[in-house]
Structure 1
């Protein structure tokens, strides 16, 4: 191997893995995202409930079913791909600083092996903080994209008030609502950062448990050069699914509030501000209104989570090794 070759930094590996994971998972599960968004903004006061399957059948019965199922793909793809890339980058950087703090290092320099060797010093609270801070940065950066995505997913192309494209929607928001329009729902989205924080506070410790009590009981896939066992695909499915269900169930109400705050004519339809929306949901629909679309969301997020973390874990594991093999 060429010793002078500069290897990819851990933060860059995390960024590439996150970008790949966000792109692929969005392409796979976008239709379910359309169904979930429409369920969340639906004010169903009749005795006949509207199901996610009913909305799905309605979408595929349209003259252009593929376009209907992939309505709003552009902002969703840009938002998810960039969010995962930025998230894993900042999460890696913050975790490294926490490792330096816990190890008492004053140099601020940790190699890849140092990170692997001292990773067990991070606690669930550390992962919660790293994910929460990273999520806050992403929210303030990408909220305008989510406003456009929500409005496009919640309406059919060609209907009154529907955006024809992401650019046309951005122009309309700027002209009619000003800069504040792009940050509708930002407050509740910041509350929603607790979702990612809870998820990784469960996910990362479960990974450590797997490596400690399961991987070492069998033939380890640990590579001495990198100081880390490969997280198998089956383990990735179980661990990522468990952490997502826990986080999703605990924090789901914020998604309903965010969708209603970000959609068209939100103040007239759902109430003004977070308190107004919460009050109206409670009065008209009770506590169940805060969990509208939860079943569809679980069906949607599990495949999305599995695809995301399978891509993420495999890319972050193999990318440095492919880089090294290329230099031999």
Structure 2
């Protein structure tokens, strides 16, 4: 067997297909919607002072005027480094659940999971992806807001010193904020959001795919059902996504930003009391502008890349 043939056979293995296709899908989809992701985080961490109050596209324009086009993609390089293994782990674990936990072979025999299996498999792959990549997500969130004008977010004095880079920030958090525990600050509310989100995303997508007439689905149909699955899942779990971001930035200036929480329960109570029900959904519209196209592109790229790898 030639080396090229051996490489082809290795790449066609289900786990390798899922890893590479999932990683590429994640990186491409997040880059497409990076400006919306940056604005969403800025909207989430502002408290009652409305620094970015001109709508989603107005906020994007404001970031562009203040920081240039690089500001719209600030943190995206790290996000791609994070999202490749994050997305890859999800698809690898999901395919492993199909094969080894539920004994279903969707590639060779065309078998399908039932809905509870999809939800459980999605929950398992969501939890695995969080554990594998959470420190990078924490740093990416910090990078997204540290160059914003925090004085606008809440009228307080904030240092204008040059912010640290990726590695420097990782080391700083580790040394000054509690070592490994600090790198996983906010992992609980993150898991509360990510695990059901991924479970719903996979379950809704596969159910809509199963309901489609025929097996040769058009790219447009895959985009549509990917958009629906992402939109439904994100809307359901959004308050926990907001908590995730706020817990991630507490140690870098929660008081300056106008909030401080001692626990998830305290955060939920405080937000409801000080910001009302709308406070739980701050930044949701911007997030949907990000999630819907991102999920649609992610599913489409995953399907295209995995099909190409298997037919190579």
> Same fold judged by TM-score > 0.5?
yes
Query: How far apart, CA to CA, are the structure 2 residues paired with 1:263 and 1:77?
Result: 20
Moved more, 39-48 or 302-311: 39-48
CA contact (8 A) 2:125 2:198 kept: no
Change beyond 3 A, Cα 1:44–1:50 = farther
- Tell me the CA shift for residue 273 of structure 1: 2.1
Cα offset, 1:162, TM superposition = 6.7
Aligned mates of 1:175, 1:238 — CA distance in 2: 45
TM-score (norm 2): 0.86
Residue in 2 that maps onto 1:147? 138
Match among 204, 207, 211 for residue 206 of structure 2 = 204
Distance 1:290 1:15 in 2: 34
| Partner-residue secondary structure (3-state), 1:270 | coil
2:108 aligned counterpart, secondary structure:
helix
Q: What is the count of residue pairs matched by the alignment?
A: 292
Match of 1:303 among 293, 298, 305: 293
CA deviation profile, 1:295-325 (whole Å, cap 9, x unmatched)? 1111111121122111111111121112xxx
- CA drift of 1:31 comes to 1.4
RMSD: 2.4
- Give the corresponding residue for 2:169: 169
> 2: distance between equivalents of 1:231 and 1:137?
30
**Gap runs ≥5 in structure 2:** 150-158
Q: Which residue of 1 aligns with 2:86?
A: 83
Partner of residue 129 from structure 1, selected from 120, 131, 143: 120
Alignment match of 1:138 (pick from 120, 123, 129): 129
Q: By how many angstroms is 1:16 displaced?
A: 1.1
The TM-score, its normalising length taken from structure 1, stands at 0.82
Residue equivalent to 1:194: 196
> Using a 3 Å threshold, how does the CA distance of structure 1 residues 238 and 111 change in structure 2: closer, same or farther?
closer
Q: Which aligned segments of 4 or more residues in structure 1 are displaced greater than 4 angstroms?
A: 45-50
Quote the Cα distance in structure 2 between the aligned partners of 1:46 and 1:71. 21
Query: What 5-or-longer segments of structure 1 have no aligned partner?
Result: 103-109, 216-228, 323-328
- Which of 1 and 2 has greater Rg? 1
Residue in 1 that maps onto 2:35? 31
What is the correspondence of 1:37-186 to structure 2 with a 5 Å cutoff? 37-45=41-49, 49=53, 51-62=55-66, 64-100=67-103, 112-114=107-109, 116=110, 119-120=111-112, 122-156=113-147, 160=160, 163-177=163-177, 178-186=179-187
Task: Give the whole-Å Cα distance in 1 for the aligned partners of 2:70 and 2:94.
Answer: 35
Aligned twin of 1:235:
221
Indicate conservation of the 8 Å contact 1:230/1:317, yes or no: no
* Partner SS for 2:217: coil
1:20 aligns with 2:6: no
Distance 1:260 1:320, change over 3 A: same
CA distance in 2, matches of 1:173, 1:47: 27
